[in-house]
Structure 1
Amino acid sequence: MIAVMDVAITPAEMADLHEVLRDHSRYWGERDLKSLHLSCLVQEFGSTCLVARAADGVRGYVIGFVTPTGTGYVHLIATRDDARGIGLGRRLYAAFAQAARGHGAERLKAITSVGNAGSIAFHRGLGFDARTVEDYNGPGRPMVVFERPLPSTDAAW
């Protein structure tokens, strides 16, 4: 296992997105979330789409953007199966928060499915408030919505 310090976090490029999609199951297991990996987000919001790269490739990534109302929205965040439990997800969130702050964000937001206990625990551990919003993804499709103020410094992570 590689230490979190041996990973460089940099803006994502299209080649990184292709690598992630090629190794999709290493990040998401059996869940097929390929359709959520939108090229336009990397193309248009590259400074807030980040990858954690080690010598052997992308260990984790976050795809996000800042809304016109000042919300840093995390669309996807994942770590590769061999990079879990070392704080990489927390480090990616801190890097995203810093990038989002640079684009005027004042708060952070993310969503997950109601049954995704791992994501819910992870986000709560980062200080997010979590609430279930009925019909968030359409009729009968509730989602858990995470929100928190953007920390004023990276030390808050």
Structure 2
Amino acid sequence: MSGERLFHTRAATEEDLRHIVRLDEEAFPTAPYPYFVLRQLLASFPEYVFVVADGDVLVGYVLSTPPDGARSWILSLGISPPLRGLGLGRRLMATSLAHLRARGVRRVTLSVEPGNTTAITLYRSLGFVADPAGPYPDYFGPGADRLLMSLTA
């Protein structure tokens, strides 16, 4: 079928940094990661950053941490706003979670803005459970409340 999009998921490379920065700014316009943080995360944990592309254009990314014992964190999942709802976040999360499980991770934690019902629904569908003590007020500073969610494999 002509015009069909062929999204593909792969490990991020150094050349992807500027695109990850762009995607982070698009996905989180009020609180994107500073450039230097994304730079250091990609340099420090290159095996734990995955991207999804539409041809040659990056349209999403996921960042996680290496295992600490059998635990890890998803630090960020960002999808280009016009392409949300196409299953790209699910695809990236599945890739990241499989990668983490293969490295012995048995518990994955993430934080999400309590009003982001789309993300919360995605995470719940993947088996994440909200911390019953949350949401945590001012988790990331004044007015930046977060809900913590965990997945135990």
Is the TM value for this pair above 0.5?
Answer: yes
**Aligned AA for 1:146?**
M
Do the aligned residues in 2 keep the contact of 1:72 with 1:97 (CA within 8 Å)? no
CA distance in 1, matches of 2:89, 2:9: 11
Q: CA 1:68–1:58 in structure 2 vs 1: closer, same or farther (change >3 Å)?
A: same
CA distance in 2, matches of 1:68, 1:118: 28
Q: How many residues align?
A: 147
In structure 2, runs of 5+ residues without a counterpart are none
CA distance in 2, matches of 1:96, 1:48: 7
Q: CA 1:130–1:18 in structure 2 vs 1: closer, same or farther (change >3 Å)?
A: same
Q: CA 1:2–1:35 in structure 2 vs 1: closer, same or farther (change >3 Å)?
A: farther
What is residue 148 of structure 1 aligned with on the other side? 151
Once the two structures are aligned, what percentage of the paired residues are identical?
24
If the length of structure 1 is used for normalisation, what is the TM-score? 0.78
Kindly report the root-mean-square deviation, in angstroms, between the aligned alpha carbons of the 2 structures.
2.5
Give the 5 Å matches for 1:5-154.
6-28=6-28, 30-35=29-34, 37-131=37-131, 132-134=134-136, 136-137=139-140, 142-150=145-153
| Displacement after TM superposition at 1:141 (Å) | 5.5
Structure 1: 4+ residue segments shifted above 6 A: none
If the length of structure 2 is used for normalisation, what is the TM-score? 0.80
Q: CA 1:126–1:2 in structure 2 vs 1: closer, same or farther (change >3 Å)?
A: farther
In structure 1, runs of 5+ residues without a counterpart are 151-157
String of CA shifts for 1:25-80, please: whole Å, max 9, x gaps.
4433x323132852222112111110112214112110111331222311000111
| Displacement after TM superposition at 1:110 (Å) | 0.7
